[in-house]
Amino acid sequence: MSTPHGPDAAEPPTAGSPPNRAALDPVAGEWQRVSPKYVVVDLLGILVSTVLFVVGSGVPWLLSGVPWLVVLPIGALVLHLLIAAFTPRRVRALGYLLRDDDLVFRKGIMFLRIVSVPYGRMQLVDLNRGPIARAFGLSELKLVTAAAASHITIPGLPEADAESLRDRLVELAESRRAGL
């Protein structure tokens, strides 16, 4: 058995060098990312959640006066601050790839999840715009199939891109279903 040599050969990483991201990515191609504005939208959602959880978990402490119950709102605040700190990186990890036969969606930092949805299996392509996302010109695209595990939602798409992607996916789904 021989090993390939030349410019196409993959060099093993040397000690201390970061691994090649393409080698770690099981699906190669040109990944499309969500809008960077989605970071702000997500952070605003986290802010609302933080206020609700801190106030809600602080009520027992305020009503009872038990000193150690102050740990609940402090814990809720620390947890939400950690979530907010990782939000920009988590949003950068979101991406989708249109291939010949399917759409591939990835998300996650530590726990990477990659879902492939064949065009012929798509039953519904839904476009949603919440009030905060709409204020930033963003939409959310939801793909529904018969299999419960393969539903995916692509958040943070610019409105024009989301509408174009929806139309393209509907067209591809109809053409693939016709061939079944």
Please state the domain extents for the chain: 38-90, 94-178
What is the sign of the dihedral through the CA atoms of 50, 107, 128 and 139? positive
Whether residue 67 is predicted with pLDDT greater than 50 in this model: the reply is yes
CB contact set of 180 (below 8 Å; sequence gap of 6+):
120
Q: Tell the residue number behind the tokens 């798409």, with chain if given.
A: 157
- How far from 107 is each of 60, 69, 96, 113, CA to CA, in Å? 37, 36, 9, 5
Q: What's the whole-number mean pLDDT along residues 57-65?
A: 91
Whether residue 42 is predicted with pLDDT greater than 90 in this model: the reply is yes
Whether residue 1 is predicted with pLDDT greater than 90 in this model: the reply is no
Structure token digits, residue 124: 């519904």
Give me the count of residues in the chain: 180
Q: What's the whole-number mean pLDDT along residues 135-154?
A: 88
Q: What is the pLDDT of residue 147?
A: 78
Model's pTM, two decimal places?
0.76
The yes/no answer on whether domain 94-178 falls in CATH 2.30.29.30 is yes
Judged on CB neighbours under 10 Å (0-12, 13-18, 19+), 91 is buried
